[in-house]
Amino acid sequence: MQRRKFIVGMGALAAGGAAAIGTGAFSQMNSGERAVTVQVEDDANSFLALVPASDSDPNHHGHFAEQNGDKLEINVDGDNLTFPNGNGVNPNSEYYIDNVFKIQNHGPNGNPGTGEVAQWISSNTAGRVDFYWGGDPSDSAEGAANSKTTSPSDEVNVGMYIDASNLDSSDTISGEIVVSAEDTAN
């Protein structure tokens, strides 16, 4: 009888030990209440800012971008006051407009190598419009594989290509883009 108790006891001890080792220190925890505060800012003042490029720099065309309320908008139409006599692009044409807007890293600057983010245009519903880095149409800004990395206080410029082939003056190209970013330390 004692031998059976010993074998059963050893089996229970082995099973309990395996369960404790196999699951780690704990599987669930509740910390209690913690304060959370998130400040929402407009595109120009957020951690990853989207702002028009400076027109004072050569080959920069920030006049096609503007802050509308709290968001950046790109307009290549008659509402653009830089060209008061023009209303848009030509039919059956292609346009390359370099350095239209900037993506600025306003993230916290900690130790060297921290605060770096990779950014890219993750979604573009504006058919016939493609985005590229700065003034190089061969350097696509679309998709995570084409991301550019910036450190805090750095910025990258974004240009755009417009394909108005087979369009006439009654056509409009419109859509939206989404800019995504990811901490490069992850």
CATH code where residue 123 lies: 2.60.40
| Band of residue 16 on the pLDDT scale cut at 50, 70, 90 | low
Q: Is residue 5 part of a domain?
A: no
Q: Which domain holds residue 59?
A: 48-183
Number of domains in the chain: 1
Q: Which residues contact 147 (CB under 8 A, 6 or more apart)?
A: 118, 119, 120, 182
Q: Which residues contact 183 (CB under 8 A, 6 or more apart)?
A: 116, 117
Q: Cα dihedral angle (139, 51, 178, 111), rounded to 10 degrees?
A: 80
Q: Is residue 29 part of a domain?
A: no
More confident call, 36 vs 126: 126
pTM for this one? 0.77
Cα 74 from Cα 95, distance rounded (Å): 14
Predicted pLDDT of residue 101: 95
- With a cut of 60, say whether residue 81 has pLDDT above it: no
Predicted pLDDT of residue 25: 61
For the sheet containing 94-105, what is the strand order? 48-52, 94-105, 155-163, 129-133
Assess contact for 99 and 51: CB atoms under 8 A: no
Q: Is residue 177 part of a domain?
A: yes
Mean pLDDT of 98-123: 85
Q: Is residue 28 part of a domain?
A: no
- With a cut of 70, say whether residue 48 has pLDDT above it: yes
Q: Is residue 31 part of a domain?
A: no
Assess contact for 175 and 42: CB atoms under 8 A: no
Compute the mean pLDDT over every residue in the chain, rounded to the nearest whole number.
Answer: 82
